[in-house]
Amino acid sequence: MKLVDILPLENIKIPINGKTKKAIITELVALIAESNPHINHKIVLQSIIGREKIMSTGIGKGIAIPHGKSRGISQIAAAFGIVPDGVDFEAVDGQPVYLFFMLVAPEGPAGPHLRCLSMISRLLNIESFRQSLINASSPEEALHIIDEGEREFLK
């Protein structure tokens, strides 16, 4: 499964308007809900916020990957957004976060969910990929960078 298969253009927001952890998570869940009208928005939001309370998904290097499994969704879905000036997301390195990938999966087997998290992490570990995304000025440009990144770096 490729990220571009679960990340439609309408689930990408540049810039994200939220400036707090809860506001950003709410905004990303809303993107997923808008493109997946069958999901239970409130249950998914509670799942992601609950997961975040356990441990911050701000993994460092300007990246956060809020994620979780929820009974409020029937298939894996993703959203992506950028906060150009960065925000405090309680990242492990204490630095501001600019890039936000959200991943929500249905409850059940963890395989697809973990494979997507792994793919996101591997791509974002590449400095040039991160910088290209931070500099993306539109959802179309960001989706193109993600697509090219998967093709080039994950052969």
In sequence order, the 6+-apart residues with CB closer than 8 A to the CB of 7 are 78, 79, 80, 143, 146
144 is catalytic: no
Are 35 and 139 a contacting pair, CB within 8 Å? Answer: no
The catalytic position among 38, 41, 67, 144 is 67
Helix-helix angle 139-153:111-124, to 10 degrees:
100
Q: Which two tokens stand for residue 49?
A: 């916020």
Catalytic residues: 67
